[in-house]
């Protein structure tokens, strides 16, 4: 039964079993070794020679494979189990097949009727129904033979038939039926198992005589033990079968004598062998650090496959890198030096190889994890510190920790500090911040705090990593910068510099049977680079874009080039997934492949892309460069000199440059998240080309007297060419604003600039493409967000999001083992959390009490109908949370079964995230702590409104349906005025100077709303208008807003100019789903509303 579990869990089961034995007073020996009872050491020795690793887990797996009554299904992502089975069955004419093989049925029937072994490899989560009867052993006895139904056919079952099934999926979920029919066995390589394998490889390379001596020794010992066994068996047989007196039987006496002398002999040999083994082991252990580093690297690479399903690297690929590293690293007669040089070369080689196949956003994450894993192994970083770094204070509840000493400290920062203060070297940090908050604020306000001296003497005592813990707590936006310093200090500068893609190197590294796969991303396509390289190498390169019906052409092309040599490029392979399995077999099984043949592929990320194909290929990404400078270079790299001279009008080249600048800006704004665009659009080269064509046509038909029709130009950019992609209304306004601000007669004046430092080069001086490229080179190296129309603070948001994403990803790929590095298990942590939440969870709303209160208040008033709906929804959330927590506690105790939902709740609560089932009927939130606090606050607002009367000011964030709230208010106002119609009553608003606590009575009409945050700008309370943000202050709290309705028919001619129509969203994630309404905010006389539009200003009900 313990097949599917890992080593830790199997040991746990064993301990539990011993407890059961004790409680039932069954005697057993203390050093009981189950594996030893089920298999003798000689057999284990044979298994090891056949390639089964020597750790306890693998030996137990071997026992289950050979002894279990059900046929084994090996979960074998590294292919170790498969190798062992192949070697073990090699002598028995066994058959290998897979479910996609067209002769699969034939193979199955042949193996059954001839009594051969059958190995079905690389299955997914479904098995072929034809196997059902075979797996269940539904054999029908007819006469002396057994038959079984395979599909509609009866097949004889001969003695000697066995079936093995293997899968490459690292964590498959099989149906209960499959689990019952097969014995599922976890063959995933363990740290120890892999370490021993790698050690063997190192010794083989470095001290080959040692390894061959060890293998020979193992063979001798196994042979000798086997001999002893046979002699003893023979003797016992003779003793039992002899007739008459034993002394008369001379042959028996002879056997006795041989047995005795051989036994003496073998004993001697075994003793010598034991001594030699000790010597060999000591000599081998010297090289252990290389093997340990190797297994750390390999497990990190396999963890990356959880970040993105395309990052698959197989064990053979890794072992290839391992070999190369030993061959190419500096040789040295001093063992310690040699070991250091292998480790250094290996680490960088693996880093380079892996980083080349990662998207930009994951490269930093990989480097950081690499450094942390190595330092964890060297004991430079403790497990607790590592967990604090990646999780911070996300799981804490703000109301349960000591209160923060000052207003300026953010909630999240304070929670992070509370978490950090649990580590020994920071035990005093909370009190120090309270006592010395001026100094800490000063440090926090620096442009780059990580460069400045830390207060309270921390600067002198902390190393780079401990400093990273503080920086991560205070300034999430600077985490990446400090982490890079830590990486540089710990690993060396070359790890932070990024890997430049070199296709030529990659081509040299590849072999004819190694496909090269490029993962596509927005605006990246390596086709032209590959074709150029092919021309340079003088090799024919042909491409086929996959899709329906393209398989035939791809097959033909591959066969042709495999014979004659050439490069085949299959584009968009995610559209031809059915062909991929066949392609895999084609590449591996074609007899003769020409040396010049190479297979290049491009694909988007797709969960169904075959793992086995990814595991044999070299992977790379080719992402567009970042920044205005790089973007403009790329655009001007595509424009030809001819296109530059196509029109002789002076307006042509400045307009072209303006368009190129706009093209880069719209792409670069994407990285700022909702501040840049609500929805990140895929603007690409085609948009640019078509707009360029339109400009050219427009200038060709130009009437020189009238000049350029700017309305037409702006309309074409903002609504057609670029605007055609845009689906969100506010994004459309933004795009039109760019067109309005940049495209006008002003762009031809020498004074025109997009932002200081970014100008349009004069047409008189720039005639050639090269002149433009020189001008682009003179632009600033890093772009300030102002160049895109945003405030400098936008960079903080961007960096914070990047760091948060990075840390969250690391949390999500951490192994979900019970109890990390001592301390409590996950279950106890979650159980305590559940107890705590149940204590604080408010009581249910009693339906009849709510009903009677609403009747008193007037249950048909629009506002009360709205309240009734909200309370119903709130009650659903409270009920669900209560039932989940109660069930979860029962499931942890083992009283009820842990269902899919409860398992999800357990995982999420441990990671301080909101369980999926709760999210479905509630609201999004950054962490579980904030979500729960919000639940309590919402409930308080509804309860007091229902039972204590209508509040003076409303907290709009606490409503499920804020639009409904505003509509109810409009209805209320409309009914109060005779002759108003609901359709003509529109919302209007006025921002007061009061905050929530200053409000003593409700407004005469409409509602007061509090708790809104301004994102992207600050608020001038004295003049009640928008103003620029203060540095590092990302959200400004808006005072109470008075929202009311006016009759549209009366107030037609209100001055529209000095207002910015600011959208209000429920959450920082701005989409149509979270949009509530727009409010009019006054702007400074010196700025136009367009300025705030480009800044991406919006109001949020919640900034977490």
pLDDT of residue 1061: 93
What are the start-end ranges of the E strands in 905-958? Answer: 953-955
φ, ψ of residue 185 in degrees (nearest 5):
-130, 130
Q: Does residue 274 carry a pLDDT above 60?
A: yes
Three-state secondary structure call for residue 733? helix
Identity of the highest mean pLDDT range in 190-194, 229-233, 423-427: 423-427
Alpha carbon separation from 623 to 360, 462, 499, 637 (Å, rounded): 7, 37, 12, 16
Instruction: Say which range, 489-493, 503-507, 1053-1057, 1084-1088, has the weakest mean pLDDT.
Output: 1053-1057
Q: Does residue 119 carry a pLDDT above 90?
A: yes
CA-wise closest residue to 563 among 521, 534, 592: 592
φ, ψ of residue 392 in degrees (nearest 5):
60, -150
If one counts every other C-beta atom within 10 angstroms of the C-beta of residue 459, the result is: 12
What b/e readout covers 797-816, taking b as 16+ CB neighbours within 10 angstroms? bbbbbbbbebbbbbbebbee
Beta partners for 1020? 1025
CA-wise closest residue to 350 among 289, 290, 294: 294
Q: Do 657 and 779 contact (CB within 8 A), yes or no?
A: no
CA-wise closest residue to 427 among 439, 418, 415: 418
Helix crossing, 335-356 with 288-307: angle to 10°?
A: 10
Span 582-602, pLDDT tens digits: 898 889 888 889 999 999 999
Q: Give the span between the Cα atoms of 3 and 165, in whole angstroms.
A: 14
Span 55-79, pLDDT tens digits: 888 999 999 999 999 999 999 988 8
Q: Do 379 and 357 contact (CB within 8 A), yes or no?
A: no
pLDDT of residue 821: 44
Span 422-440, pLDDT tens digits: 999 899 999 999 998 899 9
pLDDT of residue 818: 43
Span 505-530, pLDDT tens digits: 899 989 999 999 999 987 677 888 89
Q: What is the DSSP letter of 719?
A: I
Span 22-40, pLDDT tens digits: 999 999 888 788 888 898 8
pLDDT of residue 1056: 54
CA-wise closest residue to 374 among 498, 366, 361: 366
Q: Do 718 and 736 contact (CB within 8 A), yes or no?
A: yes
Instruction: Say which range, 92-96, 695-699, 763-767, has the weakest mean pLDDT.
Output: 763-767
Three-state secondary structure call for residue 618? strand
Cβ-based burial of 488 (10 A; exposed 0-12, middle 13-18, buried ≥19): middle
CA-wise closest residue to 195 among 289, 262, 259, 276: 289
pLDDT of residue 1050: 61
- Percent share of the chain, pLDDT over 70: 98
Dihedral, CA atoms, 249, 251, 252, 255, nearest 10 degrees?
160
Side-chain-side CA neighbours of 825 within 13 Å: the count stands at 9
pTM listed for this prediction: 0.75
Q: Does residue 711 carry a pLDDT above 60?
A: yes
CA-wise closest residue to 203 among 194, 213, 193: 213
Residue range 472-491: mean pLDDT, rounded? 91
Judging by DSSP bridges, how do beta strands 71-75 and 162-167 pair with one another? parallel
Q: How confident is the model at residue 1078 (pLDDT cuts 50, 70, 90)?
A: very high
Q: Does residue 816 carry a pLDDT above 70?
A: no
If one counts every other C-beta atom within 10 angstroms of the C-beta of residue 160, the result is: 11
The mean of the pLDDT values for the chain is 89
Alpha carbon separation from 152 to 116, 129, 148, 541, 893 (Å, rounded): 21, 11, 10, 49, 47
Span 148-179, pLDDT tens digits: 999 888 999 998 899 999 998 888 889 888 99
pLDDT of residue 823: 55
DSSP for 585-612, please give it.
HHHHH-S---TT-EEEEEE---TTS-HH
CA-wise closest residue to 313 among 326, 323, 300: 300
Longest Cα–Cα distance of the chain, Å, equals 134
Identify how many contiguous H helices and E strands the chain contains and give both numbers: 43, 26
pLDDT of residue 817: 53
φ, ψ of residue 1103 in degrees (nearest 5):
-105, 15
Three-state secondary structure call for residue 1035? strand
Q: Do 63 and 35 contact (CB within 8 A), yes or no?
A: yes
């Amino acid at each position: 039964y313990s097949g599917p579990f890992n080593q830790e869990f199997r040991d746990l089961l064993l301990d539990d079993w011993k407890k059961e034995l004790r409680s039932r007073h069954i005697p057993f020996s203390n050093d009981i070794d189950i594996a030893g009872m089920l298999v003798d050491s000689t057999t284990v020795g044979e298994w090891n020679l056949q390639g089964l690793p020597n750790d306890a887990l693998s030996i137990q797996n071997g026992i289950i494979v050979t002894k279990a009554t059900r046929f084994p299904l090996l979960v074998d992502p590294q292919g170790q189990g498969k190798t062992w089975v192949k070697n073990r069955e090699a002598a028995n004419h066994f058959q290998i097949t897979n479910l996609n093989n067209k002769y699969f049925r034939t193979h199955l029937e042949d193996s059954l009727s001839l009594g051969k072994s059958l190995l079905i490899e690389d299955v997914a989560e479904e098995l072929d129904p034809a196997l059902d009867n075979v797996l269940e052993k539904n054999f029908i006895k007819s006469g002396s033979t057994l038959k079984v139904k395979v599909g509609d056919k009866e097949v004889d079952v001969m003695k000697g038939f066995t079936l093995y099934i293997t899968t490459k999926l690292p964590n498959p979920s099989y149906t209960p039926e499959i689990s019952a029919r097969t014995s599922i066995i976890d063959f995933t390589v363990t740290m120890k198992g892999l370490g021993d394998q790698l050690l063997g490889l190192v010794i083989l390379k470095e001290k080959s005589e040692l390894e061959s001596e060890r293998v020979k020794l193992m063979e001798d010992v196994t042979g000798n033990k086997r001999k002893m066994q046979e002699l003893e068996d023979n003797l016992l047989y003779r003793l039992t079968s002899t007739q008459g007196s034993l002394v008369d039987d001379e042959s028996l006496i002879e056997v006795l004598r041989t047995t005795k002398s051989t036994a003496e002999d073998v004993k001697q040999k075994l003793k010598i062998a034991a001594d030699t083994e000790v010597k060999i082991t000591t000599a081998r252990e010297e090289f252990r650090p290389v093997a340990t580093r190797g297994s750390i690297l390999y497990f990190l690479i396999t963890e990356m496959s959880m970040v993105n399903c395309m990052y698959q690297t197989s064990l053979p690929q890794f072992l290839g890198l391992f070999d190369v590293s030993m061959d190419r690293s500096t040789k040295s007669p001093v063992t310690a030096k040699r070991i250091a040089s292998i480790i250094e070369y290996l680490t960088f080689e693996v880093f380079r190889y892996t980083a080349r196949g990662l998207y930009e956003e994951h490269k930093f994450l990989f480097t950081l994890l690499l450094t942390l894993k190595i330092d964890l192994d060297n004991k430079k970083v403790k497990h607790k510190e590592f967990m604090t770094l990646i999780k911070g204070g996300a799981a804490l509840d703000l109301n349960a920790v000591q209160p923060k000493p000052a207003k300026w400290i953010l909630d999240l920062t304070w929670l992070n500090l509370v978490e950090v203060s649990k580590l020994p070297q920071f035990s005093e940090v909370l009190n120090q911040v309270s006592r010395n908050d001026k100094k800490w604020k000063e440090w926090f306000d620096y442009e780059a705090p990580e460069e400045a001296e830390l207060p309270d003497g921390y600067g002198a005592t902390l190393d780079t990593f401990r400093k990273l813990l503080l920086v991560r707590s205070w300034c999430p936006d600077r985490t990446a910068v400090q982490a890079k310093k830590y990486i540089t200090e710990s690993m060396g500068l070359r790890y932070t510099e990024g890997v430049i893609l070199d296709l030529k190197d990659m081509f040299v590294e590849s072999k004819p049977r190694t496909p090269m796969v490029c993962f596509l991303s927005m605006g990246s396509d390596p086709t032209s680079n590959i074709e150029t390289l092919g021309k340079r190498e003088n090799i024919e390169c042909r491409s086929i874009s996959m899709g329906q019906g393209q398989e035939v052409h791809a097959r033909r092309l591959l066969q042709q080039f495999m014979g004659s040599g050439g490069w085949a490029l299959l584009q968009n392979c995610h559209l031809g997934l059915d062909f991929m399995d066949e392609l895999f077999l084609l590449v591996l099984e074609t007899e003769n492949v020409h040396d010049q043949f190479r297979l290049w592929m491009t694909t988007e990320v797709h969960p169904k892309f075959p793992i086995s194909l990814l595991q044999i290929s070299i992977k790379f990404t080719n992402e567009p460069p970042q920044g205005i400078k790089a973007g403009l270079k790329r655009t001007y790299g595509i424009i030809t000199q001819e296109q530059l001279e196509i029109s002789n009008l002076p307006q042509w080249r400045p307009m072209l440059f303006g368009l190129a600048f706009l093209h880069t800006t719209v792409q670069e704004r994407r990285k700022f998240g909702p501040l840049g665009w609500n929805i990140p659009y895929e603007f690409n080269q085609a948009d640019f080309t078509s707009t360029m064509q339109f400009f050219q046509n427009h200038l060709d038909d130009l009437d020189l007297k009238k000049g350029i029709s700017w309305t037409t130009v702006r309309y074409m950019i903002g609504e057609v060419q670029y605007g055609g992609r845009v689906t969100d209304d506010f994004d459309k306004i933004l795009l039109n604003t760019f067109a309005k601000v940049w495209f006008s007669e002003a762009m031809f004046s020498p004074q025109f600039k997009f932002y200081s430092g970014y100008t349009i080069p004069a047409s008189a001086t720039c005639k050639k493409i090269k002149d433009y490229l020189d001008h682009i080179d003179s632009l600033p190296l890093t772009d300030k967000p102002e160049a895109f129309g945003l405030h400098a603070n936008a960079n903080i948001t961007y960096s914070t999001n990047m760091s948060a994403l990075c840390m969250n990803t690391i949390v999500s790929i951490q192994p979900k083992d019970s109890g990390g590095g001592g301390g409590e298990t996950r279950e106890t942590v979650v159980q305590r959390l559940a107890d705590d939440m149940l204590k604080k969870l408010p009581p249910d709303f009693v339906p009849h009490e709510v009903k009677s209160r609403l009747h008193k208040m007037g249950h048909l008033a629009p506002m009360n109908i709205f309240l009734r709906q909200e309370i119903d929804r709130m009650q659903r959330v409270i009920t669900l949370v209560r039932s989940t927590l109660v069930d979860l506690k029962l499931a942890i105790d083992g009283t009820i079964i842990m269902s899919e939902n409860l398992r999800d709740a357990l995982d999420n609560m441990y990671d301080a995230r909101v369980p999926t089932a709760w999210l479905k009927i509630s609201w999004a939130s950054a962490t579980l702590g904030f979500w729960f606090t919000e639940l309590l606050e919402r409930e308080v607002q509804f309860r007091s409104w229902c039972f204590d009367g209508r509040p003076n000011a409303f907290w709009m964030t606490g409503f499920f349906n804020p639009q409904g709230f505003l509509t109810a208010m409009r209805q209320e106002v409309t009914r109060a005025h005779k002759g108003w119609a609901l359709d003509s009553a529109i919302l209007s608003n006025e921002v007061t100077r009061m905050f929530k606590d200053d409000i003593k009575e409700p407004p005469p009409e409409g509602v007061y709303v509090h708790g809104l945050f301004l994102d992207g700008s600050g608020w001038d309370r004295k003049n009640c208008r928008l103003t620029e943000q203060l540095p590092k202050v990302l959200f400004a709290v808006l005072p109470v807003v008075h929202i009311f309705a006016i009759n549209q028919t009366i107030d037609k001619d209100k001055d529209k100019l000095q207002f910015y129509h600011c959208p209000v969203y429920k959450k920082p994630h701005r989409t149509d789903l979270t949009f509530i309404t727009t409010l009019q905010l006054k702007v400074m006389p010196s700025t136009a509303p367009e300025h705030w539009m480009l800044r991406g200003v919006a109001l949020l009900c919640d900034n977490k």
